[in-house]
Amino acid sequence: MDMYVKSGFIEYASNIFVTMKERDVISWTVMILGYSIHGQGELEVNLFHEMEKDLRIGIDQFTYAAVLQPCSTARMVENGWFYFNRIRVLKVTHCALMVSLLARAELFDEARIFIEERHLERHPKVLRALLDVDLTWFRF
């Protein structure tokens, strides 16, 4: 599945995933990230909700990062906050994804407050997330 996702063949990966009799957190995360990478954020969010229903699956930090990524790309602020607030053990990666989401949604004051409250002002991943925002909408 991972190979197909990384090669751009999300349909093949999805077919394998659908036919699996047992799925673990890795297979779920690969598909969630795959949909995210290929711009199918809505499918990714739906798959995450389906995964949550399986109580045998322990959602880990990588899965939350995978679900935050398309929220950032699609500027889904409410969804991003929802998932971010569910993370038990926050990592800098999760915070950087939230900064990216807020900045992409043009919520720069919220991004600044978020960074200051968590004392992330000097962390390279967070600063990169803030600076990687596409400013083509801004007219100089």
- Residue 29: strand, helix, or coil: helix
CA nearest to 74, candidates 51, 48, 105 = 105
10-residue mean pLDDT series, the chain (140 residues):
94 96 93 86 84 88 89 88 93 95 94 96 92 60
Domain boundaries of the chain, sorted by first residue:
1-86, 90-140
Say what the pLDDT of residue 134 is. Answer: 59
Contact of 68 with 96, CB cutoff 8 Å = no
Say what the pLDDT of residue 135 is. Answer: 55
Say what the pLDDT of residue 140 is. Answer: 46
Enter the tokens of residue 3.
């190979």
